[in-house]
Structure 1
Amino acid sequence: MHVNNECELSDFEKKIADRAEFSSCYRPRPVTTEKSDGNMHFNIMKHPKEALEVMNSLRRSEKLCDVTLLVGDEKFLCHKIVLASASSYFRAMFTGGMREEEMSVIPLHGIHPCTLHMLIEFTYTAEISVSEQNVCYLLPAATMFQMNHVVEACSVFLEQQLDASNCIGITDFASEHGCLDLESKAREYIYKHFSEVIKCDEFLQLSPCQLVNLIKQDELNIKCESEIFNAVIRWVNHDSEKRLCKLQGMLSAVRCHFLSPHFLEKQLKHCTVLKKTPQCLEYLSKIFQGLKLHQTCTEKPRKPCSPLVIYSAGGYLRQSLSTFECFNPQTNQWQKLSDLPTPRSGLCGCVVKGSFYAVGGRNNSSDGNLDSNSLDIYDPDLDRWQLIAPMNSKRIGVGLACINRLLFAVGGFDGKERLRSVERYDPEKDEWTVVAPMNNTRSGAGVAALEGHIYAVGGYDSSSQLQTVERYNLQADVWEFVAPMKSPRSALSVAVIGGKLYALGGYDGGDFLSTVECYDPDKDEWTDVSYMTCGRSGHGVAVGAEPLGS
Structure 2
Amino acid sequence: NVINACCSFLERQLDPTNAIGIASFAEQHGCSDLQKKANYFIERHFTQVCQEEEFLQLSAYQLIALIRRDELNVQEEREVYNAVLKWVKYDEENRYPKMEHILYAVRCQFLTPNFLKEQMRNCDVLRKVPACREYLAKIFKDLTLHKRPVVKERTPNTTRMIFVAGGFFRQSLDILEAYNVDDKTWTTLPNLRIPRSGLGAAFLKGTFYAVGGRNNSIGSSYDSDWVDRYNTSTEQWRPCAPMTVPRHRVGVAVMDELMYAVGGSAGSEYHSSVEYYDPDQDRWTLVQPMHEKRLGVGVVVVNRLLYAIGGFNGTDRLTTVECYHPENNEWTLVQPMHYERSGAD
Establish whether residue 212 from structure 1 lines up as the match of residue 64 from structure 2: yes
Establish whether residue 424 from structure 1 lines up as the match of residue 276 from structure 2: yes
Secondary structure in structure 1 of the residue aligned to 2:47: helix
- 1:234-383 correspondence to structure 2 within 5 Å: 234-288=86-140, 290-291=142-143, 294-383=146-235
TM-score of the two chains, using structure 2 as the length reference: 0.89
Give unpaired runs (5+ residues) of structure 1.
Answer: 1-118, 120-137, 140-150, 494-550
Take 1:425 and 1:306, find their aligned partners in 2: how far apart are those partners? 26
Higher relative CO (Cα under 8 Å, sequence separation at least 6) belongs to 2
1:397·1:413 contact (CA, 8 Å) conserved in 2? Answer: yes
Establish whether residue 233 from structure 1 lines up as the match of residue 233 from structure 2: no
2:146·2:305 contact (CA, 8 Å) conserved in 1? Answer: no
How far 1:275 moved relative to its partner? 4.1
Take 1:298 and 1:403, find their aligned partners in 2: how far apart are those partners? 18
Take 1:452 and 1:392, find their aligned partners in 2: how far apart are those partners? 24
Which residue identity lines up with residue 315 of structure 1 in the other structure? G
| Counterpart pick for 1:461 among 313, 320, 334 | 313
Which residue identity lines up with residue 297 of structure 1 in the other structure? P
How far 1:385 moved relative to its partner? 3.0
- 1:397-408 correspondence to structure 2 within 5 Å: 397-408=249-260
Establish whether residue 440 from structure 1 lines up as the match of residue 292 from structure 2: yes
1:294·1:404 contact (CA, 8 Å) conserved in 2? Answer: no
| Counterpart pick for 1:223 among 58, 61, 75 | 75
Change (3 A) 1:221 1:348: same
How far 1:295 moved relative to its partner? 4.7
Secondary structure in structure 1 of the residue aligned to 2:104: helix
1:294·1:475 contact (CA, 8 Å) conserved in 2? Answer: no
Partner of 2:37: 185
Secondary structure in structure 1 of the residue aligned to 2:265: coil
How far 1:168 moved relative to its partner? 1.1
- 1:480-495 correspondence to structure 2 within 5 Å: 480-493=332-345
- 1:145-156 correspondence to structure 2 within 5 Å: 151=4, 153-156=5-8
Give unpaired runs (5+ residues) of structure 2.
Answer: none
Partner of 1:198: 50
| Counterpart pick for 1:390 among 226, 242, 251 | 242
* Aligned-residue identity in percent: 46
Secondary structure in structure 2 of the residue aligned to 1:385: strand
Q: How many corresponding residue pairs? A: 345
TM-score of the two chains, using structure 1 as the length reference: 0.58
Take 2:64 and 2:255, find their aligned partners in 1: how far apart are those partners? 28
Which residue identity lines up with residue 98 of structure 2 in the other structure? K
2:174·2:196 contact (CA, 8 Å) conserved in 1? Answer: yes
Kindly report the root-mean-square deviation, in angstroms, between the aligned alpha carbons of the 2 structures: 2.4
Take 1:271 and 1:196, find their aligned partners in 2: how far apart are those partners? 23
